[in-house]
A and B are shown apart, each in its own frame.
Chain A
């Protein structure tokens, strides 16, 4: 039976080659979908300029990426996790439990979060207060905490048109969501003074008050988007009243479909984010497993290349794509060169 022979030999080849391929020779990256375009641009340039193979970059969200990152040390785990927020203490603890102790944190630059709606719709000039009042699950009306009663934007702020409230915000597995909660919803909560009311209602518990602030309404006015920004864009295209939360780079690639709203009177742009005028921005990071440096070829070179001036600097391809260059890039470069780990002595 030549058939059987063929099969057994194919199986044998597969088995043998699987064992010889013990050493993975390309860098594996996963995590934030906001960082993904930047990481893939760097990965591509890295493959072109070095003799190492092009790294593999997967997305999935910051939390999902860090979870995979913390699964352990070894060739079947990823080397780098991209994140659009800083790693949490709880995640560091999970990492440590699984033997991932030395983590190098690399900040690559800043990214703006913008609010955009259909290009032919109404234009908006938001403040954090507007967003808090429109989206929070509970708000204070006449001194009493009630379930959010607002259904149109003009109820939130008389200057707005009477457009139904419909927001598409990133799902909880996205790092962008946390920044949105922190810098917009919570800021609005504090600005309206509702924070104090929640604090009083919860027996002076600050944590509980924060939680009450950032709890978003679940009556369909605020929709969590677990996918990527393309999904948010598709939702806005089908529902012209929708307002979506995007990354600046995504908006800049789709200026023919979206119009951007100002926040506290500032139009988002790489310049206004770099100067810190535009309030809703956040740093982007990637995390490197130090234990993999020297084991996975090209890992350190990739990390250094990522933050090199010609890549992440103000004139580099990442800036061109929409990243706001980090003014303290030099510190990051030397930290990567020294392999300075999180919470380490160096």
Chain B
């Protein structure tokens, strides 16, 4: 090195052997280059990560947004008394005897009347025309009549959901080519849909029922919604919060502040860390054996789901709580003890409040983890066709069969009708929104309340 500098710089400036700050020597350049390279690696890593995230989000959003829109058909339906209430007494029990199948002909008549009225030319029969409606339309009529029997005899304008094929046609998921072999819908029916759309009787708009509604059977994907499974998830999270937070915090405070450090607490600590790594399906098996088969709690109930997820979340909460308790400097404890506080007073008056933001962050992250969990729910009967009505009380919310958001998505993803596939992606959007909200709250809590020493 010195040879090089002396030879390159002749007599003009005396050389100290250290070189100029302005001119980097080869070694500095090499170190700087290494740093630049490392930065480039880091940026590349982040870019790859962000690209994957972008692809994922793009996929989810582009496939899922369709689920938030739905096609509706406006139709004036006559509710003749001679079909719906033969005795004419308007007795609710008599009206109930007419099943949804008794209401189906009314829809056919309504379409025939509409075609005559609007002078739409079509060769379709009434049954084929009614085929563009959701299979749930008759049930909608029946519920309307049962809610207010005095409407019998009048003609009422209804908004029905269109069948999933028609809905897919308006969302360009279904085309005349793709239905060539489809026996559920014909090209003539699509022509009819075009005519109705032109006359304003069919329109596509935002569908609140997807967010608030219940699951529906394979015959009517257009009516399926996330609402009830969202309630199921909510009640499970309440159970997890009510159990995992106090148990987890109590356990960590005892372990961290009071317990003697010996082999027993070491074993407990190792086991808690182990528990955090146990696959969640194991907790499902445990839940089935203990809560359902031994304790006889009801199957498919969010209470059981919540208990299982509590087991899963506990280690996360204990570990994060212990970490945030550890982060509180000993000087705070010493100061409290020094002015005469008892051990418990020092913990509850000084250490715990300072550790609270960390504990809350850990809890929220644990809850977010539990919210996205499907595997343990499979075994306790929360995955399946569970179209219960929204729970009307806390007890029914905890004990009536219900699903959970991720379970509902899984269920939709494996159904035959492609329209359910779209809803599964839509469900993922809703679930992601929940997770993002929870994690943002966790970050904000940490930023605003965390103290550093």
Residues of A within 8 A of B (CB): 3-4, 6-7, 10-11, 13-14, 17-18, 20-21, 24, 26, 28, 30, 36-37, 39-41, 43-45, 47-49, 53-54, 56-59, 74-76, 227-231, 249-250, 252-256, 259, 310, 317, 320-321
Q: In the docked arrangement, what's the CA distance between A252 and B417, Å?
A: 9
Docked complex: B31-61 residues within 8 A CB-CB of A: none
Complex Cα distance, B177 from A293, in Å, reads 49
Q: Residue B239 at the A interface, CB < 8 A?
A: yes
Name the contact of A28 in the complex, choosing from B99, B139, B239, B381 (C-beta under 8 A): B381
Give the Cβ gap from B273 to chain A, nearest Cβ, in Å: 25
Find the B residue at minimum CB distance from A249: B416
| 8 closest residue pairs by CB, A with B | A58-B384, A256-B178, A37-B218, A40-B385, A255-B181, A57-B385, A40-B217, A44-B217
Which of A7, A13, A17, A57 interacts with B246 by CB under 8 Å?
A7
- Which of B219, B298, B415 touches A24 (beta carbons < 8 Å)? B298
* B385 and A56 contacting across the interface, CB-CB below 8 Å: yes
> Does chain A have a CB within 8 A of B265?
no
Interface of B is mostly: loop
Interface string of B272-308 (1 = CB under 8 A from A): 0000000000000000000011001111100100000
A254 contacts B139, C-beta separation under 8 Å: no
A3-B246, A48-B139, A317-B219 as given contacts; A230 in contact with B296, CB under 8 Å: no
Residue of B296, B385, B394, B418 near A254 (CB, 8 A) is B418
- With a cutoff of 8 Å between Cβ atoms, the chain A residues found around residue B401 in the complex are 26, 28, 56
Docked-complex contact A41 and B182, CB < 8 angstroms? no
List the B side residues contacting A228 at CB < 8 Å.
Answer: 414
Inter-subunit contact B387/A47 (CB<8 Å): yes
Scan B202-227; emit 1 where CB is below 8 A from any A CB, else 0. 00000000000000111110000000
Instruction: Give bound CA distance, A54 to B299, whole Å.
Output: 15
Known contacts: A43-B217, A230-B414, A321-B219. The answer to whether A76 contacts B387 by CB under 8 A is no
Please state if B219 and A11 are interface contacts (CB–CB under 8 Å): no
Contact of A11 with B243 in the complex, beta carbons under 8 Å: yes
CB-CB under 8 A from B413, the residues of chain A are 230
Contact B414 A310 (CB under 8 A): no
Having A14-B242, A58-B383, A317-B135, one finds 12 other A-B pairs with CB under 8 Å, namely A13-B394, A13-B395, A21-B399, A40-B217, A49-B99, A53-B400, A76-B298, A76-B299, A229-B416, A231-B414, A256-B174, A310-B99
Do A320 and B298 touch (CB < 8 A)?
no
Q: Identify the closest chain B residue to A310 (Cβ).
A: B101
Query: Which residue on A lies nearest to B101, using beta carbons?
Result: A310
Is the CB of B197 closer than 8 A to any CB of chain A?
no
The answer, yes or no, to whether B95 is at the interface (CB within 8 Å) is no
Point out the residue from B178, B182, B398 that lies within 8 Å of A17, measured CB to CB.
B398
In the bound complex, what is the Cα–Cα distance between A53 and B400 (angstroms)? 10
Kindly report which residue of chain B lies nearest to residue A28, judged by CB atoms.
Answer: B299
Contact with A along B397-415 (1 / 0, CB 8 A): 0111100000000000111
Q: Does B267 sit at the interface, judged by CB under 8 A?
A: no
Judge whether B414 and A41 touch: CB under 8 Å: no
Q: How far apart are A313's CB and chain B's nearest CB, in angstroms?
A: 10
Please tell me if B423 contacts chain A, counting CB pairs below 8 Å.
no
A-B contact pairs, 19 of them (CB 8 A): A17-B303, A24-B298, A37-B218, A37-B219, A37-B415, A43-B385, A45-B100, A47-B387, A49-B142, A54-B387, A54-B389, A56-B381, A58-B383, A253-B416, A255-B180, A255-B182, A256-B178, A256-B181, A317-B219
Rounded to whole Å, the gap between the CB of A184 and the closest CB of chain B is 22
Contact of B416 among A3, A13, A37 (CB under 8 A): A37
CA distance A21 to B182 in the complex (A): 46
> Does B183 touch A at the CB level, under 8 Å?
yes
Question: Footprint of A on B, CB under 8 Å?
Answer: 99-101, 135, 139, 142-143, 174, 177-184, 216-220, 239, 242-243, 246, 292-293, 296-300, 303, 381, 383-389, 394-395, 398-401, 413-418
Residues of B within 8 A of A36 (CB): 218, 384-385
- Contact between B246 and A59 (Cβ–Cβ < 8 Å)? no
Q: Which residues of B contact A320 (CB under 8 A)?
A: 219
- Known contacts: A14-B239, A37-B415. The answer to whether A256 contacts B179 by CB under 8 A is yes
Interchain CB contact under 8 A, B219 and A30: no
With A48-B139, A310-B101 given, is the CB distance from A21 to B395 under 8 Å? yes
Chain B residues near A4 (CB, 8 Å)?
A: 246
Contact A43 B387, beta carbon cutoff 8 Å? yes
Contact between B100 and A48, CB atoms less than 8 A apart: yes
Q: Say whether B182 contacts A256, CB under 8 Å.
A: yes
Bound-complex Cα distance A11 to B239 (A): 9
Q: Are the C-beta atoms of A48 and B219 separated by less than 8 Å?
A: no
Known: A43-B217, A231-B414. A28 touches B388 (CB 8 A): no
Instruction: Please report the C-alpha to C-alpha distance between residue A344 and residue B143 in the assembled complex, in whole angstroms.
Output: 41
Bound: A75/B178 CA distance, A: 47
Residue of B nearest to A54 (CB): B387
Chain A residues, Cβ within 8 Å of B299: 28, 76
Given A7-B242, A18-B399, A230-B415, verify A76-B388 contact (CB < 8 Å): no
Contact A17 B395 (CB under 8 A): yes
Are A49 and B414 neighbours in the complex by a CB distance under 8 Å? Answer: no
Whether B101 lies near A76 (C-beta < 8 A) is: no
| Min CB gap A158→B, angstroms | 28
Which chain A residues border B179 with CB–CB below 8 Å? 255-256
Cβ distance B176 to chain A, nearest Cβ, rounded Å: 11
CA distance A76 to B299 in the complex (A): 7
Which of B135, B183, B296 lies in contact with A252, CB distance below 8 A? B183
Alpha-carbon distance A249/B383, docked complex (angstroms): 22
The answer, among A11, A18, A30, A255, for a CB contact under 8 Å with B384, is A30
Q: Nearest chain-A residue to B219 (Cβ)?
A: A41
A299 to chain B, nearest CB (A): 15
A37: nearest chain-B partner, CB-CB: B218
Considering the complex, give the chain B residue whose CB is closest to the CB of A24: B298
Determine how close the nearest CB of chain A comes to the CB of B146; give it in whole angstroms. 10
Q: A20-B395, A54-B388, A58-B381 are in contact. Are A14 and B303 (CB under 8 A)?
A: yes
- Considering the chains assembled together, what is the distance between the CA atoms of A28 and B387 in angstroms? 12
Query: Whole-angstrom distance from the CB of B279 to the nearest CB of chain A?
Result: 18
Residues of A within 8 A of B101 (CB): 310
CA distance A59 to B242 in the complex (A): 31
Alpha-carbon distance A228/B384, docked complex (angstroms):
13
- Bound state CA distance, A76 and B384, in angstroms? 17
Q: Indicate which residue in B217, B386, B399 contacts A41 across the interface (CB closer than 8 Å).
A: B217
Instruction: Tell whether, in the assembled complex, residue A11 and residue B218 are in contact, meaning their CB atoms are under 8 Å apart.
Output: no
Bound-state Cα–Cα, A74 to B297, Å: 12
Minimum distance in angstroms from B450 CB to a CB of chain A:
21
- CB distance A252 to B246 under 8 Å? no
Instruction: Select from chain A the residue with minimum beta-carbon distance to B221.
Output: A253
Task: Provide the residues of chain B in CB contact with A255, threshold 8 Å.
Answer: 178-183
Residues on B with C-beta less than 8 A from A256 are: 174, 177-182
Interface contact A21-B298, CB-CB below 8 Å: yes
Separation of A36 and B216 alpha carbons in the complex (Å): 12
A26 in contact with B388 (CB, 8 Å): yes
Q: How far is the CA of A249 from the CA of B217 in the complex (A)?
A: 14
A228, closest chain B residue (CB): B414
Chain A, Cβ-Cβ closest to B397? A17
Residues of A within 8 A of B414 (CB): 227-228, 230-231
In the bound complex, CA of A229 to CA of B398 (Å): 33
